[in-house]
Amino acid sequence: MPAQSNPQMEPYARHVIVCTGGFCSPGHRGRELYSLLAQLLQREDLLFGPRRIKRGETPCLGVCSDGPVMVVYPEGVWYARVTPRLLERIVVEHLRDGRVVDEAVFHRLDP
């Protein structure tokens, strides 16, 4: 039997997780944001290469109010009440340029 190789992971800069469930955001607005996130990442040239941003969705991030909610790792920056306009700012300012959108942050992991 041939030796099994491990999966290969290409480098990436950050991982964004969007809550797409309905508890924090009636109407599942998180799903719309998740789709828009892919478009914005492509527009800003952040889908491929070492600066790429990985994205994921979850039905619950455990914060069941003020959604849609999303979190950016490795910084552990949590954003609340994310609208399409705010998402665009997060992509450009935080994900592309490295500046957290402070006024939309409701939680940060301890450094």
In-domain check, residue 2: no
Number of structural domains the chain divides into: 1
pTM exceeds cut of 0.85: yes
In which order are the strands placed within the sheet that holds 77-79?
A: 53-58, 14-19, 70-73, 77-79, 105-108
Average pLDDT over residues 50-71: 91
Helix (H) or strand (E) holding 16: strand 14-19
Write down the pLDDT at residue 111. Answer: 64
User: What pLDDT band is residue 1 in, cutting at 50, 70 and 90?
Assistant: low
Residues 80 and 53: their CA atoms lie apart, in Å, by 19
In-domain check, residue 58: yes
Per residue in 22-38, pLDDT tens?
887 778 799 999 999 99
Question: Which among 100, 106, 111, 110 is positioned nearest to 19, based on CA atoms?
Answer: 106
CATH code for position 69: 3.40.30.10
User: What pLDDT band is residue 12 in, cutting at 50, 70 and 90?
Assistant: very high
The domain of 29 spans 14-108
Cα 98 to the center of its chain, rounded Å: 14
